[in-house]
């Protein structure tokens, strides 16, 4: 795969758990600097897809290239692959016994074998980027959900990954904390940090998303510019989904 511009290429991915087929032939590409949005109803296979891309789960069939390397090859070094992918989860997954600073620097120290001073310098820089310089010494329990998620983003960024995956990063947050996390994510998208974002935040998708993939029942049933798909969905499933999202948001902001 000679195209240097393609960070991630997914070809005909399949995954079943026992008799349940969760992914049924997923294909797409992510170009350098792109923000790809993935939406779809609960259970459509979005998290399973991200887990396959990160090799947390082995796909049954299909291939994945990360920066030109076929990572579905059995001989691939999984740890090296994971170092190239930042992962931001719905539930933050911070180390509760470590400060914000240490949460961000630990990967650099342990995985990248960086000297403590250098790792701390980079960690502080990343915390500054997400607006948390003042909170570097605090433990997760002393931070709000929005602040914790921003630490998680700083931690992903610190490793200088080829791509960052976000799996519903604002779904566990109180409505008033969602904005600060989306602002950080928008700024990164504008800086052309390559990312794949599973989210139902339509404002975010329309502002910075380059392409939206709509998943239903393990397949991508519709794809294209986020604005077009959200305003004029073609598939019945997509229409129903966005209708529900609109109703939900209307209720919340009433």
Ligand X SMILES: Nc1ncnc2c1ncn2[C@@H]1O[C@H](COP(=O)(O)OP(=O)(O)O)[C@@H](O)[C@H]1O
| 32-61 footprint of Mg ion as x/- string (CB under 5 A) | --------------xx--------------
- The partner in contact with residue 103, picked from Mg ion, ligand X, none with C-beta cut-offs of 5 to 8 angstroms by kind, is none
In this structure, are residues 132 and 146 in contact, taking their beta carbons and an 8 Å threshold?
no
Asked if residue 199 binds Mg ion (CB under 5 A), the reply is no
Asked if residue 203 binds ligand X (CB under 6 A), the reply is no
- The partner in contact with residue 43, picked from ligand X, Mg ion, none with C-beta cut-offs of 5 to 8 angstroms by kind, is ligand X
What one-character DSSP code corresponds to residue 11? E
CA distance 172 to 152: 14
Tell me which of 12, 17, 240, 244 binds ligand X, using CB under 6 A: 17
CB of 188 to ligand X, least distance (A): 22
| 75-104 footprint of ligand X as x/- string (CB under 6 A) | ------------------------------
Instruction: Work out whether strand 85-88 and strand 163-167 pair parallel, antiparallel, or are unpaired.
Output: parallel
CA distance 173 to 145: 6
The smaller minimum CB distance to ligand X, of residues 45 and 140, is found at: 45
Tokens of 119: 């790792």
In this structure, are residues 13 and 27 in contact, taking their beta carbons and an 8 Å threshold?
yes
- Residue 237's contacts (CB-CB under 8 Å, 6 or more residues apart) are 41, 214, 216, 221
| Contact footprint for ligand X (CB under 6 A) | 17, 20, 22, 40, 42-48
The residue ranges that bind Mg ion (CB under 5 A) are: 46-47
């Amino acid at each position: 795969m000679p195209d240097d511009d393609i960070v991630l290429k997914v070809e005909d991915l399949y995954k079943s758990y026992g008799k349940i087929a969760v992914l049924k032939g997923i294909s797409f590409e992510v170009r350098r600097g792109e923000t790809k949005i993935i939406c779809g109803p609960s259970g459509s296979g979005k998290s399973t897809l991200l887990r396959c891309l990160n090799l947390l789960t082995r796909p049954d069939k299909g291939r994945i290239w990360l920066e030109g390397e076929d990572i579905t090859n059995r001989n691939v070094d999984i740890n090296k692959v994971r170092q190239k992918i930042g992962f931001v989860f719905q539930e933050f997954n911070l180390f509760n016994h470590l400060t914000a600073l240490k949460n961000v620097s630990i990967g650099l120290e342990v995985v990248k074998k960086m000297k403590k001073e250098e790792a701390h310098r980079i960690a502080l820089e990343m915390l500054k980027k997400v607006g948390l310089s003042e909170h570097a010494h605090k433990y997760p329990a002393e931070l709000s959900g929005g602040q914790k998620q921003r630490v998680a983003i700083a931690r992903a960024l610190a490793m200088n990954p080829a791509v960052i995956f976000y799996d519903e990063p604002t779904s566990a947050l109180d409505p008033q904390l969602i904005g600060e996390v989306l602002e950080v994510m928008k700024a990164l998208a504008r800086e052309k940090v390559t990312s794949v974002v599973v989210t139902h935040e339509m404002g975010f998708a329309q502002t910075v998303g380059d392409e939206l993939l709509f998943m239903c029942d393990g397949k991508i049933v519709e794809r294209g510019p986020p604005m077009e798909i959200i305003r004029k969905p073609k598939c019945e499933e997509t229409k129903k989904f966005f209708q529900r999202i609109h109703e939900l948001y209307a209720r919340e902001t009433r």
